Structure 1
Amino acid sequence: MNKILRAFKQLLLPLFFISLFILFSCVKEESPVNPYSGQKGDVMGTVTTTNNTALHGSKVSIGELVTYTDDKGRFFLRNAPAGERVLVNFTSDNYASTQKVVTVLPDRTTVVDASMLLVGTTQTIGSSGGAVLFSGAKVEFPANSFIDSKGNSFNGAALVKATFFDPANSAFYGCFPGEFKGVRTDNSETQIESYGFIQVEIMNGSEKLNLAAGKTATITLPISTKQSATAPATIPLWYYDETAGKWREQGTASKVGNNYVGSVSHFSNWNCDQPTQTSYLHGRVVDQSGNPIFFASVFSEGIDYTGSSRVNTDEEGYFKLAVKSASNAKVWASIHIFSSATQNIATPPTGETSEIGDFVITIDSTNICIIIGRVIDNGDLPVSNMNVRQLDSTGKSLAYVLTGQDGNFLFYGKLNTKYKFEINYFAYDSSGKISIERTTPSSPETLDLGDIKIDIGGAIVKGRVVDSLSVPLPNINVYSTEGGSNQGREYRTDSLGKFSLWVRPNKSFKIYLSGKNQQSKSIDAESGDLGSTKDLGDIILP
């Protein structure tokens, strides 16, 4: 048993969940020094629609690091910059974009999921202005109100994309950009409770437009039925600052009937948020022998309010969980397949911290076993950094790990239980997937899956990315819908604008290119025979 408990403490669990919202009240906004500057970690997760269907081909990016989701909605970003507030962007055709704020630790994997909502409506607005209606919400534009990205007046027909996000929607938290806290006009930070938000994009082709100086638009947001009884007469308006990953207070909206109505001077996401007060719950997560558990996830969920939070325990098993003050919340802890009992906690008054003691996670060593294996290539050499997934008998994902330098991986499982293990070394479809099903033994012994061989033979497609004047463009992200990056091949142009992609032989596929200032392009390509190299020549971006 002690061997297994030690393994739990030492195993690099990829299922790290950082807080959905970190709730600090009356704390001044700061720009802290990144303690992990120059270090790298990995980010993975799943993107779904609001009805929980996998969203294939969504673009996921951190700065200039870009990938796309596979047919299961999954993504993996290797060598992301480590930091306490890393911004992960999610975009997809016909869907409203979102952004998540995560902590990426050096040499570890952070998991972050997102939900995406179909754009509510698209409508053309001319120079005379007009109103856009969508899902009970409304935006009214005055005449001659738009400017282009250079600040010049725009007098043509603009395409407006508008979406309303209803707090009553079960996927609201998955769609919500950033965290459930905001920066007030006095620069203090506060917990916020959303009464709904809108996303409005004003486009001229691929160019984003905005409101001209001195122009304002009137926005109307419907109040959800579940919040109508608590909706205040006036409520602060907040816009989302995508550069900082923060909501910022600017203006107010008034309650008119069952709607909030206010005026805004620019567009991004606009949110009706009521500042709320914060208190804290302090405790510890231990196993059944009283040993602290490092990086256990601790969750809260409001009983009499709409809100949730998550944190991870420190090396001594302690946590400090931010919650809405003077309220009631459900709190529990988990690590991998094991969870503590759920406790209903009365949260303390504003600013105070309640000691809530130990949450015990029983790691039943009599009912679990260690599962190991190794991934090798067709030359019998170990393959490192390969994504391996553990699923239950229904196909539900339980855990992801990356193979080590020796190709090895490790999972835990309950005894006498069937699991599936998947290795998918191509990006977009299942043709590169290896699936293994095994039933764990009936006694707590190690299940060895042995060597799993993958055929990573392929072809190379190369090219050069240039601008309209044939000047090479370095640091352009290049991604194909074939191939994988487990062999350390970089998907970014070099100083001469050149790239080289490893893909499957004799296949038709798309290559996506993206760079600074939202430059993007996709092209159709074909690979040659096994072991061949095909030169696509110069590709002009945009």
Structure 2
Amino acid sequence: MRTKLFLTLCFIGVMLSCNKDRLPNDEANNNNDEPSNFHENFGDAITRTFIGNVIDINGNPIENVIISIGNDDVLTDDHGVFILEDAQVNKRFAYVKAEKDGYIHGSRALVPTSGTNKVSIMLLEETVAGSTTSGTSETIAIANGASVSLEGDYIKEDGTPYSGSLDVIIHHLDPTDKAVSLQMPGMLYAENEDNEERMLQTLGMLAVELRGSGGEDLNLAEGSSAEIKIPVDASLLSIAPSSIPLWFFDEAKGYWIEEGEATLVGNNYIGTVEHFSFWNCDIPAEAINLCVTVMNENETAFANTKVTITSATFGTRSGFTNELGEVCGLVPSGETLEINVYDFAICGSNIIYTSAIGPFNSDDSLTVIVEESSNIINETVTGTFTDCDQNPVTNGYVVITYGDQQFFDMLTEGVFEINMLRCSTADSFSIEAIDHDNLQTTGEINYTFSTPETSLGNLISCNDITEFIQFNIDGDTGENVLIATNIRATFGESDNTNSGSSNGLNISGQGEAGTNDCFYLFGNLTDAPHTGTYDNLDYQVQDDTGINIGECIGISQTNNNIIYNVTALGDVDEYIDINFSGDYEDYNGNTHTISGVIHVLRDSLD
């Protein structure tokens, strides 16, 4: 199971959500039955493409989650990933819902960009905090002091009275918890009592769900109420007002609605509610939509780059750019803000750009230019992706892992191109390509960046192929070779090296019957861990280290400038990963280029 952190496009001020119990008659108990023109704030209807992933609280993917955007539905795959193209949303508002039995409903609201919109949703399990019986007053609390006090009168979804035992599910979300951005409902966007749009700063949230003995959803009976207690973290008490508006998340609409208020008693907000939902204690503010594009001096946009916007009043919100280098979301209006751009966690999450921006009084956009430095390197990763028959995969995606962070990017007719920033201290990454239609994958393949562009060649997803050797000679006008049969890979033999070293690497492969394709690699590697960058092995030089692939391909020793990156050298029955590229002369003195990928299982020496 994956336990790495999945990071995708997390728009500024836009978070994931866990929804309330469904209310009787859809939107009953809203207590705001007057017609609302609030939806006019969303702008015109448009279509956009979405890719996202759904994970549990341990970061593991959840498959077969129902994802809904408008009238379109799709299931997550076994990687927890979904793709929805041409989904109908609004220019300033898109609403993504996620549902699976055993979990509180999840959702995400966002301001869509013109590129691919990336979404991450963390589902919370339906954990029972306690049980009670209709007709009985009861207070149910969880370990941190969050609680709900019930009067004992309940109804079913159809509005009829419920009698009997019931379970109470409680989840408290603490704004100081890093995971809250993956768990909170919708985005921090709301309709106040005057029908005006507001952004919110949360001081704490509480979700309460009721389940009858038959598993049916319940809610409070008409005329009944409940007291909720929401703890406030000590670090937030200095900004916590003595009374604060209460907001509930409307699952049908996808945003928060103001209803009532709570009073600060000690370090808890206490309020009374007449229906159960995800309830939120928030300070409201007027907001505008801001879009930020991150690029370098050559106007190359950078994907998967973290951006934060900090308000002295409302704190910090963060997001990751899409493939166009763009991230959008709500920020406070009329206030000078601070923008920061960061490198990756593996690099130390250092600030690589900072500036004061604003104030903004209407929707706006800006471009951030990240200047070159010795510590920040611009990278482009390109490749193609085909199925077993080498047809381009048109419905699929690639997952890039850099350190402990993972990013998803879609394909365009089997082609991918990813621009990103990396740090000088970490030059390796891995990639996995998934064919959505055929439910097949390449498996995770390790690489080293070949700055400034890393061409991965053609990746193949095929259940019949567990290992392969693939290379291209002379680019688009040259020859592509794929060898997926008769492969043998060993490490530790001294054969074919002149040193007698135990670090000898031998990989060979023969194409299918009827072809003349063959491949033979031998090398003498450095001591453990053996990974790293190697040049051509000159087997006439005693104790030289390097790699040579000339035997089958006709590569001479003269002007041999091929560089090999050994990114993984596993134990027996684990993968050896090598990528290589460069130019060389053949035995007739003609110059060629070559690039390739080796993804093979290590065999025993027996």
Shorter chain as denominator, the TM-score bin is: 0.5 to 0.7
Shift of 1:271: 1.1
Count the aligned residue pairs.
424
- Going from structure 1 to structure 2, the CA distance change for 1:327 and 1:169 (only over 3 Å counts) comes to farther
User: Structure 1 residues 96 and 325, CA, compared in 2 at 3 Å: closer, same or farther?
Assistant: farther
- Tell me the distance in 2 between the aligned counterparts of 1:314 and 1:376: 21
In structure 2, the residue matched to 1:276 is 285
Aligned to 2:68: 62
8 Å Cα contact 2:89/2:95 also seen in 1: no
Alignment correspondent of 1:172: 180
Consecutive unaligned residues in structure 2, runs of 5 or more? 1-6, 16-35, 466-606
Question: Is the Cα–Cα contact under 8 Å of residues 294 and 301 in structure 2 kept in the other structure?
Answer: yes
Partner AA of 1:256 in structure 2: V
Cα offset, 1:211, TM superposition: 1.3
What pairs with 1:208-357 in structure 2 (closer than 5 Å)?
208-278=217-287, 287-289=296-298, 291=299, 298-302=307-311, 305-308=314-317, 310=319, 322-323=331-332, 329-332=338-341, 341-343=352-354, 345=356, 348=359, 352=361
SS of match in other structure, 2:94: strand
CA deviations 1:286-345 (Å, max 9, x no partner) are 5325x595998753134664341559799999989623765764433889x999833253
1:114 is aligned to 121
Amino acid of the structure 2 residue aligned with 1:114: I
String of CA shifts for 1:443-472, please: whole Å, max 9, x gaps.
646624235352479xxxxxxxxxxxxxxx
Question: In the alignment, does 2:398 pair up with 1:388?
Answer: yes
CA deviations 1:467-523 (Å, max 9, x no partner) are: xxxxxxxxxxxxxxxxxxxxxxxxxxxxxxxxxxxxxxxxxxxxxxxxxxxxxxxxx
2:53, 2:119 within 8 Å by CA — same for their partners in 1? yes
1:28/1:213 CA distance change after superposition, 3 Å: same
Q: Is the 8 A contact 1:103 1:110 kept in 2?
A: no
Query: 1:160-184 deviations in whole A, cap 9, x for unaligned?
Result: 2111112222212221111223211
For the residues of structure 1 that align with 2:314 and 2:149, how far apart are their CA atoms? 32
Residue 112 of structure 1 aligns to a residue whose secondary structure is: strand
Of 127, 132, 137 in structure 2, the residue corresponding to residue 125 of structure 1 is 132
Does residue 375 of the first structure (1) align with residue 372 of the second (2)? no
Assess, with a 3 A threshold, how the Cα gap between structure 1 residues 90 and 425 changes in structure 2: closer, same or farther: same
- The answer to whether the 8 A contact 1:41-1:78 is kept is yes
Contact 2:127–2:170 (Cα < 8 Å) also in 1: yes
Q: How far apart are 1:266 and its partner, in Å?
A: 0.9
| Unaligned ranges ≥5, structure 1 | 1-13, 458-542
Any residues of structure 2 matched to 1:406-417 within 5 Å, and which?
407-412=414-419, 417=427
Map Cα deviations across residues 83-119 of structure 1 (whole Å, 9 max, x no partner).
232222234565544321134567x531111334455
Contact residue 173 and residue 204 of structure 2 kept, 8 A: yes
Q: 1:118-166 CA distances to partner (integer Å, 9 max, x unpaired)?
A: 55643222122322112311211113x1111111111222222111112
> Aligned residue for 2:564?
none
Q: Where does residue 452 of structure 1 map in the other structure?
A: 460
Of residues 397, 412, 418, the one that matches 2:428 is 418
Identify the residue that residue 12 of structure 2 maps to in structure 1. 19
Question: Which residue of 442, 445, 453 corresponds with 1:436?
Answer: 445
**Per the alignment, do residues 94 and 306 of structure 1 end up closer, same or farther by CA in structure 2, a change over 3 Å counting?**
farther
Q: CA 1:169 to 1:203, structure 2 compared with 1: closer, same or farther past 3 Å?
A: same
Partner of 2:83: 77
Residues 363-386 of structure 1 show CA distances to partners (whole Å, capped at 9, x for unaligned) of 689955644332223333222222
Q: In the aligned structure 2, how far is the partner of 1:80 from the partner of 1:201?
A: 34
**Percent identity, aligned pairs only?**
21
In 2 relative to 1, CA 15–282 (structure 1 residues): closer, same or farther, beyond 3 Å?
A: closer
Give TM-score scaled by structure 1 length: 0.65
The alpha-carbon distance between structure 1 residues 104 and 219, as it changes in their structure 2 partners (threshold 3 A), is: same
Q: Distance in 2 between matches of 1:383 and 1:317?
A: 26
Secondary structure (helix, strand or coil) at the match of 2:161 reads coil
The amino acid across from 2:433 in the alignment is I
Q: TM-score, normalised by structure 2?
A: 0.59
Coordinate RMSD, CA, aligned: 4.4
> Match for 1:245: what amino acid?
G
Q: Residues 94 and 303 from structure 1, CA distance in 2 versus in 1: closer, same or farther, beyond 3 angstroms? A: farther
Q: Distance in 2 between matches of 1:60 and 1:341?
A: 38
Q: Please say if residues 12 and 319 of structure 2, whose CA atoms lie closer than 8 Å, have aligned partners that are also in contact.
A: yes
**SS state at 2:182 partner:** helix
Q: 1:189 aligns with which of 185, 194, 197?
A: 197
Structure 2: distance between partners of 1:40 and 1:96: 26
Q: Which amino acid aligns with 2:239?
A: T
Amino acid at match of 2:120: D
- Whether 1:156 aligns to 2:156 is no
For 2:148 and 2:206, how far apart are their aligned partners in 1? 10
The change in CA–CA distance for 1:283 and 1:83 in structure 2 (over 3 A counts) is closer
| C-alpha contact 2:129 2:168 (8 A) present in aligned 1 | yes
Could you tell me whether the CA contact under 8 Å between 1:83 and 1:103 is conserved in 2?
A: no
SS at structure 1 position matched to 2:444? strand
Please tell me whether the aligned partners of residues 284 and 318 of structure 1 are also in contact (alpha carbons under 8 angstroms).
yes
The answer on whether the counterparts of 1:282 and 1:353 sit within 8 Å (CA) in structure 2 is no
2: CA distance, partners of 1:427 / 1:110: 20
Supply the AA of the counterpart residue of 2:206.
I
Aligned residue runs from structure 1 range 396-411, under 5 A: 396-397=405-406, 399-405=407-413, 407-411=414-418
Which has the greater radius of gyration? 2
- Specify the code of the residue in structure 2 equivalent to 1:269: F
Tell me if the contact between 1:279 and 1:325 (Cα under 8 Å) persists in the aligned partners: no
